[in-house]
Chain A
Amino acid sequence: MRIICPHCGARDRREFTYQGDAVALERPAPDAGGAAWDDYLHNRENPAGVTRDLWYHEQGCGAWLVVTRNTVTHAVLTTDLAATVREGLA
């Protein structure tokens, strides 16, 4: 499996560390209520198909990435810098 780092290009999976669902970038407001916080902290989909996760390019440039990939085919569809994605949400 290879991940295309926006800085470094296609790199072997061994350079990356997996963190978890990219929902971590969408922190609810402090007063968003129990349900929103429950979803943010605990509730995760486990799709057979396309998923969006945070990966850390630890053995490379040190950037956090949002990687969209297919868990069935192992295809890596898109990668973006988490910083860019976060700015888009703001």
Chain B
Amino acid sequence: MADLTAKTPCAGLLPLSIGTLTLTEVDPGHMTAVAPLKGQTSALSEALKTAHGMALPAPNRATGKDGARTIWFGHAHSLLIGPAPDPSLAQYAALTDQSDAWAVVRLEGPGAADVLARLTPLDLRAPQFKRGHTARTDLMHMMASITRTGPQAFQIMVFRSMAHTLVHDLKTAIEAVTARAG
């Protein structure tokens, strides 16, 4: 059998540090799409609290913290990031393994929101988009998930196949924002 080496989506591309901004790859651990079965949303939220210590997020919100987070991931489903899903969740939700399917990066530093303003149509500045807020939106024509994880930090996810493009677009925007800051 061939001896294969696992590579992360952004291997060889990150980390990156330009001016005061940094772009790093996040090792998310397990990623599981959690889609509540009909009428089971509250029961699922309770099971998630018991098993992983966080509630099921409302639309446009994320729960948990670094290492174990659940982010709202679109119509009728969320993404559990970090721990392997507890088997107890399976009676309330359809669970789909998404590990390794997404490129996950962290953009951090002063002006992080200005960088994203060049790439997405959303207003992601702090008064509009607070810690714990998340959005599914367009990032340079890629379907992205963007979550604020700190006062000047965002977690950005796109399909793994788009990792190169994501890093390229973010790098270009970081350079432009840094240049303007002079």
Interface residues of A (CB under 8 A from B): 7-9, 11-12, 14-15, 57-63, 81
Supposing A61-B74, A63-B74 touch, asked if A11 and B121 sit within 8 A by C-beta, the answer is yes
Across chains A and B, the number of contacting residue pairs, with CB separation under 8 Å, is 42
Kindly identify which residue among B60, B121, B136, B138 contacts A62, using a CB–CB cutoff of 8 Å: B136
**Cβ-defined contact, B137 with A62, below 8 A:** no
Q: Does B11 contact A (CB under 8 A)?
A: no
Closest chain A residue to B58, Cβ basis: A7
| Interface members, chain B 84-127 (any A CB < 8 Å) | 121-122
The closest CB in chain A to the CB of B143 belongs to: A59
B138:A61 contact, CB within 8 angstroms: no
Per the bound structure, the CA–CA distance linking A57 and B74 in Å amounts to 10
Asked if residues A7 and B60 are in contact (CB atoms below 8 Å), the reply is: yes
Q: Is B7 an interface residue (CB 8 A)?
A: no
In chain B, positions 20-40 with a C-beta closer than 8 Å to chain A are none
Given contacts A7-B60, A11-B137, contact A63 B75 (CB under 8 A): yes
Report the nearest A residue to B59, measured CB to CB.
A7
- By a CB distance below 8 angstroms, the chain A residues around B138 are 12, 14-15, 59-60
In Å, the complex CA distance between A7 and B137 comes to 12
Bitwise, B130-153 to A at CB < 8 A (1) or not (0) is 000001111001010000000000
B121:A7 contact, CB within 8 angstroms:
no
Of the candidates B60, B122, B136, the one having the most CB atoms from chain A within 10 angstroms of its own CB is B136
* Cβ contact within 8 Å between A61 and B121: no
Q: Which of chain A's residues have a CB closer than 8 A to the CB of B60? A: 7-9
Residue of B nearest to A6 (CB): B59
Name the A residues within 8 Å of B122 (CB-CB).
11
Q: Which A residues are CB-close (under 8 A) to B76?
A: 63
26 A-B contacts, Cβ less than 8 Å apart?
A: A7-B59, A7-B60, A7-B75, A8-B59, A8-B60, A8-B135, A8-B136, A9-B60, A12-B121, A14-B121, A14-B138, A15-B137, A15-B138, A58-B143, A59-B138, A59-B141, A59-B143, A60-B137, A61-B59, A61-B75, A61-B136, A62-B74, A62-B75, A63-B75, A63-B76, A81-B75
